[in-house]
Amino acid sequence: MGTASSLVSPAVGVGEVIEDTYGGGEACEIPVEVKPKARLLRGSLRRVGASRPGGLIGASFKSTASVQELECVAEYERLKKEYEIFRVSKNNEVASMVKKEAKLDRENKRLRAELQALQKTYQKILREKESALEAKYQAMERAATFEHDRDKVKRQFKIFRETKENEIQDLLRAKRELEAKLQRLQAQGIQVFHPEESDSDDNCTDVTAAGAQSEYWNGGALGSEPSMGSMMQLQQSFRGPEFAHSSIDVEGPFANINRDDWDAAVASLLQVTPLFSHSLWSNTVRCFIISTDETQLEVDIFIKTYSLKLQRICETMGYFFQVVHFSTENERPLKDVKKWEIEKSSLVILLLHLTLPSCLLEDCEEAFLRNPEEKPRLIYHRKEDGRVSSVSVQQLIEQISYVNKAKMIDHTGGVEEGAYEIYKCVEKIIKQDILGCEMTDLEAKDLGNKEESTAPEEEVFGDVLWDAHDEQEQMEAFQQASNSTCELGFEKYFERLNDLVAAPAPIPPLLVSGGPGSGKSLLLSKWIQLQQKHSPNTLILYHFVGRPMSTSSESALIIKRLTLKLMQHSWLVSPLTLDPAKLLEEFPRWLEKLSARHQGSIIIIIDSIDQIQQAEKHMKWLIDPLPVNVRVIVSVNVETCPQAWRLWPTLHLDPLNTKDVKSLISAECSSANVKLTKEQEKKLERHCRSATTCNALYVTLLGKTIACVGSTGSIEETLQQCCQCQDTVSLYRLVLRSIQESLQSDKEKGLLREILCVIGVSHNGVSESELMELYPQLSSAVLASLIHSLHKMCLLTYGCGLLKFQHLQAWEMVRLEYMEEGENVISAYRQKLVEYFTMQLSRDQVTWRSADELPWLFQQQGDKQKLHKCLLNLFVSQNLYKRGHFAELLSYWQLVGKDKSSMAAEYFDSLKEYEKSCEGEESMICLADLYETLGRFLKDLGLLSQAVAPLQRSLEIRETALDPDHPRVAQSLHQLAGVYVQWKKFGNAEQLYKQALEISENAYGAEHPRVARELDALATLYQKQNKYEQAEQLRKKSFKIRQKAARRKGSLCGFALLRQRALQLEELTLGKDTPDNARTLNELGVLYYLQNNLE
């Protein structure tokens, strides 16, 4: 039986909150009133009694409870319905809110897209505005130049008219005098012949007049002066002359030359490859020593005591130093090796005493009597009292003194003093004759400080960071690629390339494709030479990509180098960003700028572009429309060409035909005096028919292999082995094994393996001096012999003083031959290089080699901790940044996991720690340089506010440690002003530039290139502020300073450039008299005029 208490649910308390289990509504609180049981019972009985007269006193509790339950159920149902209605309404509200939210999100995305589009439009309009302002300034400059030229022509015409009027008056006066004289003679009865009947020259007066006119013309009275846009300045740096604004006044015999002809002659100078010192072989100062047994002690002391000092001198200036010495005890036939070393040597030292062995006589004659390049030579002759040198020694010295200008050291003291005298003389020769870095007292006085002479590139290129090693590597790559004398039937390809240049624009880049070793680099280098010879007005920019992951394959450095070349040929040197993304944006603009000014074609050639890291991403400017006179040629391996580029016009190199194969092998064999039989030739022809055996590299290597063993071994056996090699890699393996068999000991074979493996795992290669330090048991004679064999067989070559693989197939062969065990072997050799360069850092010896190799090796090993520590070495980062390897430095920091702000903070903290240990003036100057480098680095990162503090600290240190008026203080002011210019704080920048200008004028004089640099910076600042008149005045003043400096600064390298181009033109003019020859002769005359100006 139920009770009243059953009306209240036991699970629900009073005032309990009931939640919606469906998730659609909200929780609500339902009040429940619970009455006491007794009171409920009495009330029920009372109601029953009242409703029924007579009284039913015996009513049951069950009926009463049922009524109450019905009431509660009804109330529950009502509440349930209300709750359901509430839940549904709330669900509808939530759904409505979700729809509104989605609608707002779509509206927000649309507004964001519109905002981004507006920002892009704003940036585009801003760039267009800047371009328009620049065009306006250029138009104003051209208008001013035109007005100047017009006024000059008016003055010249006035002078010409007055001169001619005076000549006419003189002629009339002379005519009257002759007529009067004639009348007097007739009056005296003297017979006079009539002028028309005279057989004599009746044009004598005309001759006189013409003579006067000719003299006037030669004086240049009517010669038009070249405008600023068509002038050039010949400047010298340690890389050779660079060309900027003109320093040549077209006067004298060239006053009547057509402007186009003059511009063509000047432009042709830009095609001559800049020359390095002829005494340097691939960035290395090589010292070859010839000595007798009597002078061996001097050689030992010189090598052990003084060669390291000379090496430090050369490394400080970015060069390698190598001493090569063959002892007389060496019984191996090294005639070819010695001859090769003498040809490469920068300096040959001959040490004599009393006798001269006959075995050294040939070396002495090769080095001293056959020295066509007139490289420095030194003879050390130790004398003794009472003893006379042999006849052979005396005769050799007499012959050398008669034929060649060799420096002599006559020494009569001890052996150690003699070695010291050799060292001092060699040091002087290296500084003055080979590197050309030692100045006279007058030059040092002009510079005001010796330190200023150590950075000539800053004077020429301003704030542009240029790596001379990268540039020299490209020059050597071009020269090596074009060394082959065999054309291999390239004439048909030359015609196709010429058609590309002549084709109407716009056209996409031309793709030169072919298999590995098919001769793509050779074709392009030969065609470049032909273009430079026959089309001097065509500007060619080239880049040869080397091994993957090397510096030459880094896209940011390639774009920076090409941009610098464009700036150089635009005759403009302005600040250049190092940010890879901005560089990629600025390169097409510079290309368009130069194309608008350049009269001829511009050809950009990139060899092995598919070896560039992420080529499609970083070379996307190739697919953009190029200027009308710009052509692009790229070469790719047909197997690795990106798919998107395969739609471009393609020039595919076919395999060599039988005739080319035969001529190439015959040329290699004839150079070694080896003759093949007809049967052997046919066997080779049958072998070289597949695609992998008839490419240029394979056939060349095959010819060298046969020629190498032709005089010492069996050709038939070698042919049999070669025919088993079906590709270039396997043929390289055969070549390597033949070199190993020629070595006499297992020690030399082991050294050969070590050398090849170390070169293979390095970033850019290894130098000879580094190899000798890595392997102390390796002598210079053994190393020279090994390298000669490897170089002769196309395995190794030189690039900026570093030994590297000549072809990718040689590198692949070494990996297969020596590194088949995998990453463990590669890691072991890399660790050996890491230990070597880390040891150099521990000696406080940070060279460009340490900065290039060590971070890269840590990156390859994946050791982020050591890489982080290496990057915090301030001198390593400074070296990378100052050589323009900005993108490489950023990639290392990204690998470590640091952003720009944290990177800047860590550098600043490291500098603060380093500052605590700095004592003395020299260390404080070094600290100021580090602060300045950090400031410039942060400016290039775009952290302008953080860049100010280190630059200001650098300024404070230099003002305190040096002097407030020191030139380095001007340098700090200049860099700090550059930050303010980029920050749009033009007032602060102007004040700093003016202070720097004042200091430079006081330190160097008013006509120094450093002063011109500050004037250019001020002019650029005024141009940004639309103060065109002030900017124009400063630029003219700067131009005059650079003009005078260029005239005062003629160099041997400048002579070499002009004479080299003149010789090329002389060859072209040996044919018939044609209009082209006339134009060439005109250009030749301009070059001779330039030479006379320099001399």
Q: Are 848 and 801 in contact (CB under 8 A)?
A: no
* 427 pLDDT more than 60: yes
State the pLDDT confidence band at 1, using cuts at 50, 70 and 90. Answer: very low
pLDDT tens sequence across 82-92: 999 999 999 99
pLDDT tens sequence across 469-495: 788 888 888 888 877 666 667 888 898
Q: What pLDDT, on the 0 to 100 scale, is given for residue 434? A: 86
- Cα Rg for the chain, rounded, in angstroms? 43
Angle (deg, nearest 10), helices 921-941 and 944-961: 160
* 460 pLDDT more than 80: no
Q: How many CB atoms lie within 10 A of CB 504?
A: 6
pLDDT tens sequence across 338-376: 989 998 899 999 999 888 888 888 888 888 888 777 888
* Range 862-878 average pLDDT: 91
Percent of the chain residues past pLDDT 90, beyond the cut: 26
State the pLDDT confidence band at 860, using cuts at 50, 70 and 90. Answer: very high
State the pLDDT confidence band at 756, using cuts at 50, 70 and 90. Answer: very high
More confident residue, 71 or 36: 71
Question: Which stretch of 96-105, 217-226, 438-447, 769-778 has the lowest confidence by average pLDDT?
Answer: 217-226
* Range 633-645 average pLDDT: 86
Residues 6+ apart with CB under 8 A from 516: 637, 639, 695, 697, 728, 808, 809
Q: What pLDDT, on the 0 to 100 scale, is given for residue 512? A: 92
Q: Are 787 and 849 in contact (CB under 8 A)?
A: no
Strand partners, 242: 235
* Range 937-947 average pLDDT: 89
Count the alpha carbons within 13 Å of 853 in the hemisphere toward its beta carbon: 28
Count the alpha carbons within 13 Å of 421 in the hemisphere toward its beta carbon: 19
Q: Are 346 and 279 in contact (CB under 8 A)?
A: yes
Q: What pLDDT, on the 0 to 100 scale, is given for residue 729? A: 92
pTM for the structure as a whole:
0.70
Dihedral class, residue 614 (left if φ above 0, else alpha if ψ from -120 to 50, else beta): left
* 14 pLDDT more than 90: no
* Range 53-63 average pLDDT: 48
* Range 769-796 average pLDDT: 92
Dist. CA 27–CA 895, nearest whole Å: 54
Dist. CA 652–CA 512, nearest whole Å: 6
Number of residues that make up the chain: 1095
Q: What pLDDT, on the 0 to 100 scale, is given for residue 350? A: 93
pLDDT tens sequence across 15-26: 444 444 444 444
* Phi, psi torsion values for 22, nearest 5 degrees: -90, -10
More confident residue, 1074 or 141: 141
Average pLDDT, the chain: 77
Dist. CA 566–CA 573, nearest whole Å: 10
* 240 pLDDT more than 60: no
Q: How many CB atoms lie within 10 A of CB 1095?
A: 9
Place of tokens 């640091």: 898
Strand partners, 513: 636, 652
> In the 8-state DSSP scheme, what is residue 365?
I
Q: Are 574 and 462 in contact (CB under 8 A)?
A: yes
> Which range has the top average pLDDT, 90-99, 239-248, 387-396, 535-544?
90-99
Angle (deg, nearest 10), helices 728-742 and 746-761: 140
| Tokens representing residue 726 in the block | 């079906």
| Tokens representing residue 579 in the block | 């940010």
* 512 sits in which H/E element: strand 510-514
More confident residue, 178 or 879: 879
* 290 pLDDT more than 60: yes
pLDDT tens sequence across 1032-1058: 888 888 878 876 766 555 443 444 444
Place of tokens 């940004």: 1024
Residues 6+ apart with CB under 8 A from 795: 732, 735, 736, 756, 805, 806, 810
Q: How many CB atoms lie within 10 A of CB 144?
A: 16
Dist. CA 835–CA 850, nearest whole Å: 11
Alpha helices (H) along 468-606 = 468-481, 491-502, 520-534, 555-569, 580-597
| Tokens representing residue 236 in the block | 């010298």
Q: What pLDDT, on the 0 to 100 scale, is given for residue 118? A: 92
Q: What pLDDT, on the 0 to 100 scale, is given for residue 1089? A: 52
Residues 6+ apart with CB under 8 A from 621: 584, 587, 588
* Range 445-467 average pLDDT: 45
Strand partners, 381: 352, 410
Dist. CA 132–CA 1, nearest whole Å: 102
Residue 381 Cα distances to 397, 408, 421, angstroms: 9, 7, 11
Q: What pLDDT, on the 0 to 100 scale, is given for residue 330? A: 58
pLDDT tens sequence across 549-607: 888 888 888 888 888 888 777 655 566 777 778 888 888 888 888 888 887 889 999 99
* 1083 pLDDT more than 70: no
* 1071 pLDDT more than 90: no
Q: Nearest to residue 461, comparing CAs of 278, 239, 138, 229?
A: 239
Dist. CA 28–CA 83, nearest whole Å: 8
Going by DSSP bridges, is the β-strand pair 347-352/377-382 parallel, antiparallel, or unpaired?
A: parallel
* 1079 pLDDT more than 80: no
Strands (E), 598-719: 602-607, 630-637, 650-652
Q: How many CB atoms lie within 10 A of CB 1080?
A: 23
In single-letter form, the type of residue at position 34 comes to: V
pLDDT tens sequence across 820-834: 877 889 999 999 999
| Tokens representing residue 1039 in the block | 């131009």
Residues 6+ apart with CB under 8 A from 180: none
| Tokens representing residue 147 in the block | 């007005």
Strands (E), 226-310: 233-237, 240-244, 284-291
Dist. CA 35–CA 6, nearest whole Å: 12
pLDDT tens sequence across 717-754: 888 888 889 999 999 999 999 999 888 889 999 999 99
Strand partners, 364: none
Q: Are 663 and 486 in contact (CB under 8 A)?
A: yes
SS3 of 281, please?
strand
**Which strands make up the sheet holding 539-544, listed edge to edge?**
539-544, 602-607, 630-637, 510-514, 650-652
Q: Are 825 and 761 in contact (CB under 8 A)?
A: no
Place of tokens 């035109």: 146
> In the 8-state DSSP scheme, what is residue 303?
I
| Tokens representing residue 542 in the block | 């080239």
Residues 6+ apart with CB under 8 A from 572: 244
Q: What pLDDT, on the 0 to 100 scale, is given for residue 1091? A: 47
| Burial class of residue 437, CB neighbours in 10 A (0-12, 13-18, 19+) | middle
Dihedral class, residue 1072 (left if φ above 0, else alpha if ψ from -120 to 50, else beta): beta
More confident residue, 336 or 444: 336
Question: Which stretch of 46-55, 238-247, 660-669, 960-969 has the lowest confidence by average pLDDT?
Answer: 238-247
pLDDT tens sequence across 688-715: 888 888 888 899 899 888 888 765 567 8
Q: What pLDDT, on the 0 to 100 scale, is given for residue 1047? A: 56
Question: Which stretch of 36-50, 120-134, 555-569 has the lowest confidence by average pLDDT?
Answer: 36-50
> In the 8-state DSSP scheme, what is residue 542?
E
> In the 8-state DSSP scheme, what is residue 444?
H
* 199 pLDDT more than 50: no
> Which range has the top average pLDDT, 49-53, 399-403, 839-843, 888-892?
888-892
Strand partners, 607: 544
